[in-house]
Amino acid sequence: MWSAILWSFEAAKCIATFTEHTQAVWDACFHDTGDFVASCSLDHSARLWDVNSQRCRQTFRGHVDSVNAVEWQPFSNTICTGSSDKTISTWDARSGLCSQTFYGHFSSCNHVTFNLRGDTIASTDSDGIVKLWDVRMVAELMTINVGPHPANKSRFDRSGEILAIASDDGTIKCWNLIDAKEVHELKGHEDSVHAVAFDPFGKYAVSAGSDNTFRLFGMA
């Protein structure tokens, strides 16, 4: 059975299982209020779950291939999805309708993320291409090529000026988006890096890889 599972840290147990996806579930994220969870799946859909009632409130359909990533726009009712159909879409969580679709990737989109202001999306793909998108103008702002290895995930720091990119080549590449230059290449993993995140103050980056390790890097 394909499911998204809600866990209680206090009780150290599963408190809800969401089972309406019909194939593997790849990603899930909480809304800022903590009352809703968005999930995405190989079944070409994303879903909105009500944590309190434990019911599916919306199903977002429109992608024609696996939906690999989902993320909420900060402090809003908009979610963003990235798909193997090479597109990124934004959706109104209240109506379930697609509000915008971004075209430009030539390979499967692995991940999407917003900066803290919510006005820029970063998307990564299997060719190692990272694109920045202006949410309001529905326009491409920048293309970063870290290929030929896939770019698996990316994260903005709190300022929105630095983007960390987790690569299949075992490194994390940090780009200064103001100067459009790579400023750090963080090494240490012995295999693909699949996740990266900054601490709230931008002093550290943590990464997780296929070498069965997670690593902490100082960013000062």
DSSP string, 61-126: E--SS-EEEEEEPTTSSEEEEEETTSEEEEEETTT--EEEEEE--SS-EEEEEE-TTSSEEEEEET
The rounded distance, in Å, linking the Cα atoms of 29 and 210 is: 22
Does the pLDDT of residue 74 top 70, yes or no?
Answer: yes
The predicted structure's pLDDT at residue 1: 66
Task: Indicate whether 5 pLDDT > 70.
Answer: yes
Q: What is the pLDDT of residue 220?
A: 67
Cα–Cα distance between 15 and 9 in angstroms, integer? 10
Mean pLDDT of 63-82: 98
- pLDDT score for 204: 94
